[in-house]
């Protein structure tokens, strides 16, 4: 059985509730992480908990909907008209964007890492599409001789997850994730 993927209702009242729940969920996740109380999300959205569960029967379905746009943007990166032409620049820019998205809120890195390899999770298809995009960008940089050929797409995803975990767990005055990503890149980039 495929995982449940929430869809925005067509009826105006259902769409309003769906949008309010998503807005409240994003705020709650950013403030309290992926384990934010769903009762608080419903209250913040001005709906009953039953309404929340009618739209999002599981926490995983709510997290998927709350992060869907960001993953979709990461999956579309190569086709964007403003995408850099240099393969290494394109890969590096995409990696920085991926780290920012993966660490949108506390707990998201773990959810995405699990979803990448578990087809039963609601975020699996979006994670797989994002992973494919990263693999394409990596292959282009490797074909151009700019990235070590032995780096695999799975290792790239692991690297991004590690850096995002650092960013997700950083304090406001000490976020070393950009510097850590630069160090990782130094290890995989072929001097040009």
pLDDT tens digits for range 49-104: 999 999 999 999 999 999 999 999 999 866 555 666 889 999 999 999 999 999 98
CATH architecture of the domain with range 12-59: Orthogonal Bundle (1.10)
Residue 11 has pLDDT above 60, yes or no: yes
Q: What is the predicted pLDDT for the residue at 76?
A: 87
Name the pLDDT band for 151 (thresholds 50, 70, 90).
very high
Name the pLDDT band for 133 (thresholds 50, 70, 90).
very high
Choose the weakest-confidence range: 6-15, 81-90, 161-170. Answer: 81-90
Contacts of 190 (CB under 8 A, 6+ apart): 145, 146, 147, 148
Q: State the DSSP H helix or E strand holding residue 8, giving kind and residue range, or none if neither.
A: none
Name the pLDDT band for 136 (thresholds 50, 70, 90).
very high
Residue 175 has pLDDT above 70, yes or no: yes
Q: 1.10.3720.10, 2.60.40.10, 1.10.15.40, 1.10.357.10: which CATH number matches 61-188?
A: 1.10.357.10
Q: What is the predicted pLDDT for the residue at 77?
A: 62
Residue 46 has pLDDT above 60, yes or no: yes
**Domain residue spans of the chain:** 12-59, 61-188
Classify residue 138 as exposed, middle or buried by CB count within 10 Å of its CB (0-12, 13-18, 19+).
buried
Residue 33 has pLDDT above 70, yes or no: yes
């Amino acid at each position: 059985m495929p995982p449940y993927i929430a869809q925005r209702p067509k009826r105006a009242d259902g769409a309003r509730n769906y949008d309010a729940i998503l807005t409240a969920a994003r705020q709650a996740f950013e403030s309290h992480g992926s384990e934010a109380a769903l009762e608080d999300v419903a209250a913040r959205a001005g709906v009953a908990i039953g309404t929340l569960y009618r739209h999002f029967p599981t926490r995983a379905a709510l997290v998927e909907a709350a992060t869907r746009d960001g993953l979709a943007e990461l999956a579309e990166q190569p086709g964007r008209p403003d995408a850099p032409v240099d393969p290494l620049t394109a890969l590096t820019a995409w990696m920085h964007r991926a780290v920012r998205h993966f660490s949108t809120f506390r707990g998201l890195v773990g959810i995405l890492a699990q979803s990448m390899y578990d087809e039963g999770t609601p975020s699996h298809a979006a994670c797989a599409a994002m992973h494919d995009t990263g693999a394409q960008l990596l292959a282009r940089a490797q074909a151009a001789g700019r990235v070590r050929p032995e780096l695999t797409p799975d290792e790239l995803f692991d690297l991004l997850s590690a850096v995002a975990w650092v960013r997700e767990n950083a304090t406001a005055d000490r976020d070393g994730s950009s510097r850590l990503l630069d160090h990782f890149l130094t290890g995989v980039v072929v001097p040009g």
